[in-house]
Structure 1
């Protein structure tokens, strides 16, 4: 049995899938299998992926397109290893990612969630440090309170985390009924029940496009997380309450920018003390002003400046 199963959800990524697979095969830690789950790609993605098929690399095909959450769940349920990691087909791992995760597993036995820092690469050229907590040293390795440290941009993302199967058994799988922010919903459940061990070194490259951010499809009518479902947990966990309110702010602002009326219900339970002054001000701006702020941010990104509205 391999030590890790690496799951690649695949849907129409013919331009990137080869490099993603190569970044996995280039790992310094080599006891792993790769499980590519094809969610009915219509381009040449699967043809390219098949060229890598071997005893180490398996491919599973969905009979119909099911979406990202279901694709990840298919991978989890077919994983041979107890430790499951994910890499999207258009992202890359640094060569030492699995080695760093393995070291976390060996040194922090109480944890069941293991993550590293990552970098953002905008338009395939501009590298941006991810907005980690200012209080976290760059050489930090250890346990972290996910909800307390995560009030900003996420300290890990879907491609820089490894999860023990025990987490899925207790916290559940990715919610296939949610069409937006499935990761956030899962992270709440997972980190509520289990400890996180973290390495602050950058071990993953997350590729983003400024043009895509400007023209991203509307979220109107997409199913979103129900953060109210976790309010009972939050009553005895102030850090969780603050984190949920932060995510309500992020999603509420996005809904408002899209003129989606659900933004009012999303932000209604937020306690103002759980947001900073800038966040409280932004929530009061009209959608036109919020969209203008976004456009200015993305123009700055194109010249290598990363502002934050968090």
Structure 2
């Protein structure tokens, strides 16, 4: 097992793995240790993992890796970044350091069912037209304790989901990285994660993939666990909570870029029509929910405003 320091990426010694696992981490050694135990518990064993230490304590990461050296059998390495470059850059560094057929981002705070890799690899082997496959996911709430982490509750993530479609991805991201195994060749086709949209890099990448390829869905047993700590801050916080405002900002930015690209090629006629249509339709539906008295008051106010404007 080898590691590297500084800003240079590295390729793992063995190049024959079926699955390349990217683990993004920064100053969370307890979570990293749990994540590596989780990976080592997979029934499917033909994998290599690269830990991308995004500006955190390199000695702490190396100690975690050393603790699993025997069980890992040379399948785990690390890239240490001297400065934090963000989630998107860390993902790209990890992907570029691996050569397997399939890729998955296993962030240091999330977990898998022991059959996750076996089931998702089997799906992609049997469905060569799919760009990737998503496993059914559960949100697991937890809190830190003096001895580790304690589960406080669970809820299904998109429980009614039966398929991954491009149309629904346009509305909102329907899956998280821990649940998604995909073909590494997609990066050759559509590019890497955008490093200028670091709070929404997975959704933006998913859109590029889904526009070209179907994405499969394993809808049976829960195989992925999205761990959340709503009350944690600092290093132990979740990006969805700590970066909530950035998620919203980059969501709007991605949509605005796409709209401008469409208008540049097709004109603004459809965009103008839909913008007004949606506004009128929302107003109509809200109006239907009002009582007769509320409607009469609203109509009177509109007439009063109209007279004042004359």
- Range class of TM-score, shorter chain: 0.5 to 0.7
Task: Determine the C-alpha separation between the residues in 2 that align with 1:271 and 1:23.
Answer: 50
TM-score by length of 2: 0.67
Shift of 1:61: 1.5
Q: Look up the match of 2:256.
A: 228
Task: Determine the C-alpha separation between the residues in 2 that align with 1:100 and 1:234.
Answer: 38
Task: Determine the C-alpha separation between the residues in 1 that align with 2:195 and 2:113.
Answer: 30
Corresponding residue pairs, total? 240
Q: Look up the match of 1:19.
A: 34
Give the greater-gyration-radius structure (CA): 2
Pair 232,23 (structure 1): closer, same or farther in 2 beyond 3 Å: same
TM-score by length of 1: 0.67
Shift of 1:126: 0.2
Q: Look up the match of 1:189.
A: 208
Pair 64,114 (structure 1): closer, same or farther in 2 beyond 3 Å: same
Gaps in structure 1 of 5+ consecutive residues:
137-143, 236-244, 246-268, 282-310
Gaps in structure 2 of 5+ consecutive residues:
1-15, 143-150, 233-237, 264-270, 287-310
Task: Determine the C-alpha separation between the residues in 2 that align with 1:91 and 1:76.
Answer: 18
* Residue number among 28, 35, 47 corresponding to 2:63 in the alignment: 47
Shift of 1:182: 1.4
> What do you get for the CA RMSD once the two structures are aligned?
3.4
Q: Look up the match of 1:10.
A: 25
Structure number with the higher helix fraction is 2
Match of 1:210, SS?
Answer: coil
Question: Does the alignment pair 1:84 with 2:103?
Answer: yes
Q: Deviations over 1:52-81 (max 9, x none)?
A: 344111111123211110010001111120
Question: Does the alignment pair 1:38 with 2:66?
Answer: no
Task: Determine the C-alpha separation between the residues in 1 that align with 2:97 and 2:120.
Answer: 21
Poorly superposed stretches of 4+, deviation over 3 Å: 42-46, 148-155, 212-223, 231-235, 269-274
Pair 223,150 (structure 1): closer, same or farther in 2 beyond 3 Å: closer
Task: Determine the C-alpha separation between the residues in 1 that align with 2:260 and 2:206.
Answer: 16
Match of 2:211, SS?
Answer: helix
* Residue number among 53, 74, 77 corresponding to 1:58 in the alignment: 77
* Residue number among 130, 134, 154 corresponding to 1:111 in the alignment: 130
